[in-house]
């Protein structure tokens, strides 16, 4: 009678398929984390940072800019290829629609901008925020069709808020303008400016679009005004990118300047 590894460690059934992918992904993240830490602290990492800051100065010191850029691109492409292979393995297939910018490049940019550039922790935090946001909105999509599912009340609140935004743009503009005035009184010019332009957008929408436009976009035969959570997710991620670039361009965890340790002095006798 053949004895399998599962019998030896007490597993009567094969391990879940996704568990293997999760273990490989975690090992890949640990390896990539260690690799990038070594590169950041290496002379080549310092060279890449100098090229990023000022190519002309780096070239003036005799460094081949094109070669270093090509090597950096090749390394990034190799890591992206490994991640793409795991992603295709998870999807059990691949087609061009999977590579739409809204589902791939856009999300990577969002994680890069929100988390912070040039450090592992920032990218990891940004990726976790984007992943949790995607999972949260997937739950909201399912909750729209059933009141017994979690977050169904929150999904209904989003639908009601979206209906109010569409049907009463002038009310929304008045509230935003009031908040902008308060921000100006409190001398928070950035917040006041942002709220003012949001108010201007709703005023323009209220002037241009009438009830006929709303009926054409949201016909009653299809359920009337209804929130599409997939588009709300993209709008929220785009808003996070915009606000992060405006108020916190370095990200949640900005790059920390690194100075290599000086070699120990040798006592001369």
Q: Give domain status of residue 135, yes or no.
A: no
Alpha-carbon span 98 to 91, nearest angstrom: 10
88 found inside a domain: yes
- Per-residue pLDDT tens for 206-236? 888 888 888 888 887 777 777 887 788 888 8
Pick the most confident of 55-69, 190-204, 230-244, 246-260.
190-204
- H and E: helices and strands count for the chain: 12, 0
State the Cα–Cα distance between residues 166 and 210, nearest whole angstrom: 10
Tell me if 206 sits within 8 A of 169, measured CB to CB. Answer: yes
Percent of the chain predicted with pLDDT > 70: 89
Lowest mean pLDDT among 58-62, 79-83, 186-190, 253-257: 253-257
Mind listing the pLDDT tens digit for each residue in 147-202? 777 778 888 888 888 888 888 999 999 999 999 999 999 888 888 998 999 999 99
Instruction: With beta carbons less than 8 A apart as the criterion, state whether 49 and 259 touch.
Output: no
Structural domains in the chain (count): 1
End-to-end Cα spacing for the chain: 73
Domain-located, residue 28: yes
At 91 the pLDDT is: 79
Full residue range of the structural domain in which residue 19 is found: 1-94
What does the alpha-carbon distance between residue 112 and residue 107 come to, in Å, rounded to a whole number?
A: 9
Does residue 59 sit within a domain? Answer: yes
Tokens 């007490």 sit on residue:
10
- Report, in angstroms and rounded to the nearest whole number, the Rg of the chain calculated over CA atoms: 26
φ, ψ of residue 62 to 5 degrees: the values are: 95, 15
User: How far is 260 from 202, CA to CA, in rounded Å?
Assistant: 52
Each residue's pLDDT tens digit, 70-112: 999 999 899 989 988 888 888 777 777 777 766 777 788 888 8
Task: Determine, yes or no, domain membership for 264.
Answer: no
CA of residue 222 relative to chain centroid, distance: 32
- Scored b (16 or more CB within 10 A) or e, 13-46 reads eeeeeeeeeeeebeeeeeeeeeebeeebeeeebe
Q: Which of 130, 157, 123, 129 is nearest to 143 (CA)?
A: 157
**Sorting pLDDT into bands at 50, 70 and 90, what band is 126?**
confident
pLDDT higher for 8 or 52? Answer: 52
Q: Is 128 inside any structural domain?
A: no
Does residue 216 lie within any of the structural domains?
no
Residue 181 forms part of a structural domain: no
Tokens of 230: 């997939």
């Amino acid at each position: 009678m053949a004895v399998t590894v599962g019998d030896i460690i007490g597993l009567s059934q094969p391990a879940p398929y996704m568990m293997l992918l999760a273990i490989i992904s975690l090992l890949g993240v640990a390896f990539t984390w260690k690799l990038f830490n070594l590169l950041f602290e290496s002379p080549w990492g310092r060279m890449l940072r100098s090229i990023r800051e000022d190519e002309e100065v780096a070239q003036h010191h005799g460094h081949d800019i094109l070669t270093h850029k090509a090597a950096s691109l090749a390394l990034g492409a190799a890591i992206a290829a490994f991640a793409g292979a795991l992603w295709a393995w998870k999807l059990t297939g691949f087609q061009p629609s999977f590579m739409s910018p809204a589902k791939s490049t856009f999300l990577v940019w969002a994680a890069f901008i929100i988390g912070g550039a040039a450090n592992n922790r920032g990218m990891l935090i940004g990726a976790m925020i984007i992943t949790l946001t995607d999972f949260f909105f997937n739950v909201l999509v399912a909750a729209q069709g059933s009141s017994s599912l979690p977050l169904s009340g929150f999904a209904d609140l989003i639908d009601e808020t979206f209906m109010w935004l569409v049907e009463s743009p002038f009310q929304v503009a008045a509230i935003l303008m009031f908040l902008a005035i308060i921000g100006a009184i409190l001398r928070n010019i950035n917040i006041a400016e942002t709220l003012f332009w949001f108010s201007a957008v709703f005023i323009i929408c209220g002037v241009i679009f009438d009830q006929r436009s709303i009926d054409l976009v949201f016909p009653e035969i299809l359920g009337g005004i209804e929130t599409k959570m997939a588009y709300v997710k993209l709008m929220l991620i785009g808003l996070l990118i915009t606000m992060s670039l405006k108020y916190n361009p370095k990200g949640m965890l900005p790059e920390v300047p690194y100075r290599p340790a000086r070699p120990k002095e040798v006592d001369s006798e």
